Chains A and B, each alone.
Chain A
Amino acid sequence: MRNKLILVAAILFNGILAFAQEVDFEEYDLNNGLHVILHQDNTAPIISISVLYHVGSKDEDPERTGFAHFFEHLLFEGTENIEKGEWDQIVSSNGGSGNATTDEDRTYYYEVFPSNNLQLGLWLESERMLHPVINQKGVDTQNEVVKEEKRLRVDNSPYGKFIENIKKNLFKNHPYKETVIGKMDHLDAATLEEFIAFQKKFYVPINAVLVVAGDFKKENARKLISDYFSTIPKGQKISRNFPKEQPILEQINAKAFDPNIQIPATMIAYRTPGLKNRDSQVLDMISTYLSDGPSSKLYKKIVDEQKQALQVGAFPATQEDYGMYIVFALPVGETSLEELNTEMEEEIEKLRVDLISENDYQKLQNKFENQFVNSNSSVEGIANSLAEYYMLYGDTSLINKEIEVYRSITREEIKEVAKKYLNPNQRLVLEYLPEQNTAN
């Protein structure tokens, strides 16, 4: 009885909510094509300065994979005005922190400072964009560091190779078939000239968005941004024309071996549309329905009640051109991977055949609402979202509107999307097995 009352209240409140959550921003272009987004929020004296470059592993020469990620390291090596090794020290001795991330589609660099360091942050990022120092010494140092990173995160890490194996099997033509960290022999073979050329092509104003978020005065920020960034050469417009994938019509079976694991895993993956497609958001909802929280379908059934799996999960990998939808499970005791596949397919089949219950639908809406609200809770998080909505989705205002997309998704649509993408003949079934050391 109580629950019903709440449902009514929730529906009544929905209208007001969209209004309450507005993330205020303005955007403009500098003459050199650099897109600028300002999000002013003076509630805390913090400022985030970030640059997203529209370059990821898919932009690499197939013979030179790992470049975009390699630059994530190289571009901390110093600039014409910042000595090698000084970057981090400048950031921390001014009370700030910073980092960078790379994926298939973009690279993101950021600093967070107390708000009296706006100018310092802009200087740092403009230095990085205008004249980073790329020399053989830096390349050699970072080559070693990246190799250590690969050892740590991929070679030495349990289940570290699963994404690589899924990509390799789901993609035959598109560069998504490669990994972000890339092949080490490609990096070894790369010349300094190739690195410099990559920088000149992609790390330019026309291919970047600068986001300043937090506590600042707009006029002052606009002036400083112009001072530091407007003289940076524009760069050439980049055209992208990646090879297309053929639809998957027959189940793909594959195996992978990992020396770092004892418990095997089964992974079922589907190729899904790119992130601009509304279906991609519907698949988000399906993941939450299947595996988020102890009351989700897969978890409750396979882990909690039937105790067949140690762990089960479903997640969408959203990417610009195509997505991946991955469901996985780790067996308990003697449960076979096939049994797990059958159990998982049973739940996915229900999605294709039946509508999810009203109650589950409302719970999903609540969860997404909560997620949405909390995703906009830090200035740095907002800056990152603004940059991605602009650069990858082509619509900055999604920061406020995306929740409306989720709200508009119906139970019928969930069923339709499951029917469209999540069929057994469209999937990859990957057996991810412990590698046996035969010499032993």
Chain B
Amino acid sequence: MKTTYILLLFSLFCFFTVQAQVDRTIMPTPGPAPEINLGEPETFNLNNGLKVLVVENHKLPRVSIQLSIDNPPILEGDKAGVASLTGSLLGKGSKNIAKDEFNEEIDFLGARLSFNSQGAYAQSLSKYFPRMMELMADAAIYPNFTQEEFDKEKDILLAGLKAEEKVVSAISGRVQRALAYGKNHPYGEFATEKTVNNVTLADVEEFYRDYFVPANAYLIVIGDVTLDEVKTLTDTFFTSWTKAVPPSFSYSEPKNVPNTQINLVDMPNAVQSEITVQNLVNLKMKDDDFIAALLANQILGGGSDSRLNLNLREDKGYTYGAYTSLGNDKYAPSRFTASAEVRNMVTDSSIVEILKELEHINTQPVTEKELKTTKALYAGSFIMALENPQTIARYALNVEKEDLPKDFYKSFLEKLENVSKADVELAAKKYFNVNNARVVVVGKGSEILSSLENIDFHGKKLPVLSYSKTADRIETPDYKASAPEGITVKTVIEKYIKSIGGKAKLEAAKSYAMTAAAEMQGMKLELEMKKTTNNQFMQDVKMMGNSMSKQVLNGDGGYMVAQGQRKDFSEEEVMKIKEESALFPELNYATLEGISLEGMEMVGDKNAYKLKVNDNKLAFYDIETGLKLQEVNTTEMQGQQMTSTSNFENYQEVDGILFPFKLIQTVGPQNFEFIVSEIKINDGVSDVDFE
């Protein structure tokens, strides 16, 4: 009896200790999904139509003010760029406060204020909130558009467009949209040098008057404020904003293509192909399957653990990353895209794998595990984004703009949890359209075209249609052209030498001096170059009068100075520079071994013979005129291949010899356009220049 008692006590004791202690061998499971304590916005309207949302949050003594004008898409037409220019010109002071004074005051307050064509954003301590409201309203309602600022901003925009021309991702982005929507749709049009040059200051003023209006405008104030304070301040500062409704447009409904096809844009400078498989979707946030569609996208390609990336990156090693995105829009169709930047060589294989994954998610269901972990990941990032007041603003605004149920975000996690496998499968079928997709490929046509033409999809070849960088349909160029019979390295070189003046003239030139200049982000870059036939070479690049880099070769020795540091050339470097320093390197090509004719290729819109001078250098000569059009140099720096391309344009005569007066040098995304101001032959060079 006694023993049983003890045993009983003992087991009771055990029971209690187990109760008090947690079993740390078991990983805790998450509790129920938290409800989100989203601030409930207070709203009121001004008579001019401005809707004001106030989210009081007194945790920190700071305030953010966001002005967002929810206009329907705006067609800019032959003045594309006017919206962007209007955005850049807003916020540069006002009719009442000069620009410098305006900026200085914001700085002094430790605050921020920025504008775009359809809104503005300000952030400050709450004690400066009244003043920031005043400054924002002042700049928004009484903008000071001046010709001087207009010209400055236009130059910046044009320079940006020009820089984009060599950027594969930028070209890809605009061609994708132009092809999906058509160039006459607000989502398909884009600014070009021509359309920007059509824009005047008066157009900006008109754009501002038409579209920067309160009819569809929201003012969202978040932070340490009271509703009454915001009411008083908006009444005081925003009432004078004149009531107006923006003009509306009609445009045709864009459509998906009847059959999956490849749309190729050739960019000869591309070292990677940018592939985007896209189709139009009709998806709005208020649709019942919106969250299921988000999950389907996440599983397919939303993150680094999703199917597409696991296949293309982790398994095949084709790319650094492959992702999908699924848009939504209440005004027009949006796009689903699956994209990756891949090595030229695997462009075709990557397309095949992307299409396979699209089919796979259409035909084979997602697994329970995929659904579960994707929900957890999505829920986590959704929840953690909530901490940022900008997120809360966006959500409050979405509820208004997208006509969502008031509890859309509060119950978001619950809705997420309720999404079933069947829901995700249905959404995948509906939105990932493998049979009506455009496969937009921007890359080096000469290296990828033939493999693209041989992609087998459902037992058929995919049609390959070529487009220009401005999304116009063009004939597919014949990249494989080999040089015609009778053309050799020798004939190309001879034609070149003859075209620029002839051997006798060239050999009579003993020295050469050139000055040129380029603009870089508003700063002037000067280039001075001198050469003689005695292995003397000097090149000096100056920025705003200061020497940035200087190279000097004098016979068998030389040095370079970069950023004030001098370094002598090694023997190897001397050899290299000797080759470069020849007045006309082609005069020596006849005697050099190893130069080969590689066929014909397009350089811009000109057909050219391609010579491989050595492993690191290609040269292109116009088949019509014989002139040298381009050189491509490859160097290795810290294990990375760097390619620099020089284009030669605007040949002009100096002492009977033709020289290019425009040199365009491209290294990576950098692009320098040197305009030659002077070239001297047998004049202006002395030994002193090479000391």
Q: Do A and B bind each other?
A: yes
- Point out residues on A near B: beta carbons under 8 Å: 2-3, 6, 9-10, 13, 16-17, 20-21, 41-46, 81-82, 90, 92-97, 112-120, 122-123, 126-127, 130, 215, 224, 227-228, 231, 262-264, 293, 295, 307, 331-335, 362-363, 366-367, 369-370, 373-374, 376-379, 434, 436, 440
Q: B127 is contacted by which of A9, A130, A231, A262 (Cβ under 8 Å)?
A: A9
The answer to whether residues A93 and B563 also contact, given A3-B108, A10-B127 and a CB cut-off of 8 A, is: no
Q: Do the beta carbons of B24 and A215 come within 8 Å of each other? A: no
Q: How far is the CA of A440 from the CA of B571 in the complex (A)?
A: 9
- Chain B, range 531-585, C-beta contacts under 8 Å to A: 543-544, 546-548, 562-565, 567, 570
Q: How far is the CA of A439 from the CA of B124 in the complex (A)?
A: 56
Residues of B within 8 A of A228 (CB): 22, 24
Q: How far is the CA of A374 from the CA of B543 in the complex (A)?
A: 39
Q: Do the beta carbons of B224 and A119 come within 8 Å of each other? A: no
Residues of B within 8 A of A440 (CB): 570
Q: Do the beta carbons of B383 and A46 come within 8 Å of each other? A: yes
Q: How far is the CA of A362 from the CA of B547 in the complex (A)?
A: 41
Q: Do the beta carbons of A95 and B379 come within 8 Å of each other? A: yes
Which of B32, B377, B380, B567 has the most chain A CB atoms closer than 10 A to its own CB?
B380
Among the stretches B33-41, B274-282, B627-635, the one at the interface with A is: B33-41
- Chain B, range 179-224, C-beta contacts under 8 Å to A: 224
Q: A115 is contacted by which of B34, B111, B570 (Cβ under 8 Å)?
A: B34
Q: How far is the CA of A127 from the CA of B24 in the complex (A)?
A: 8
Q: Do the beta carbons of A116 and B30 come within 8 Å of each other? A: yes
Which residue of the partner chain B has the closest CB to A120?
B28
Residues of B within 8 A of A42 (CB): 37
Q: Do the beta carbons of B386 and A3 come within 8 Å of each other? A: no
- Chain B, range 504-531, C-beta contacts under 8 Å to A: none
Q: Do the beta carbons of B377 and A92 come within 8 Å of each other? A: yes
Shortest distance from the beta carbon of A231 to any chain B beta carbon, whole Å = 7
Q: Do the beta carbons of A117 and B105 come within 8 Å of each other? A: no
Residues of B within 8 A of A2 (CB): 105
Q: Do the beta carbons of A93 and B376 come within 8 Å of each other? A: yes
Residues of A within 8 A of B22 (CB): 123, 224, 227-228
Q: Do the beta carbons of A378 and B377 come within 8 Å of each other? A: no
Q: How far is the CA of A334 from the CA of B379 in the complex (A)?
A: 56
Q: B34 is contacted by which of A116, A367, A378 (Cβ under 8 Å)?
A: A116
Q: How far is the CA of A123 from the CA of B415 in the complex (A)?
A: 29
Residues of B within 8 A of A332 (CB): 546
Q: List 7 A-B contacts (CB under 8 A).
A: A9-B127, A81-B24, A93-B373, A115-B383, A116-B31, A262-B563, A264-B564
Q: Do the beta carbons of A114 and B384 come within 8 Å of each other? A: yes
- Point out residues on B near A: beta carbons under 8 Å: 20-22, 24-25, 27-37, 39, 57-62, 104-105, 107-111, 124-128, 131, 224, 373, 376-381, 383-384, 386-387, 543-544, 546-548, 562-565, 567, 570
Shortest distance from the beta carbon of A157 to any chain B beta carbon, whole Å = 13
Residues of A within 8 A of B36 (CB): 44-45
Q: A45 is contacted by which of B25, B35, B124 (Cβ under 8 Å)?
A: B35
Which residue of the partner chain A has the closest CB to B383?
A114
The answer to whether residues A123 and B31 also contact, given A95-B376, A114-B379, A263-B563 and a CB cut-off of 8 A, is: no
The answer to whether residues A377 and B376 also contact, given A44-B383, A114-B383 and a CB cut-off of 8 A, is: no
Q: Do the beta carbons of B376 and A44 come within 8 Å of each other? A: no
Q: How far is the CA of A295 from the CA of B107 in the complex (A)?
A: 9
Shortest distance from the beta carbon of A126 to any chain B beta carbon, whole Å = 7
Q: Do the beta carbons of B34 and A215 come within 8 Å of each other? A: yes
The answer to whether residues A379 and B387 also contact, given A20-B224, A43-B37 and a CB cut-off of 8 A, is: yes
The answer to whether residues A44 and B386 also contact, given A21-B61, A215-B37, A293-B107 and a CB cut-off of 8 A, is: yes
Which residue of the partner chain A has the closest CB to B564?
A334
Which residue of the partner chain A has the closest CB to B561?
A334
Residues of A within 8 A of B381 (CB): 95
Q: Do the beta carbons of A366 and B108 come within 8 Å of each other? A: yes
Residues of A within 8 A of B570 (CB): 440
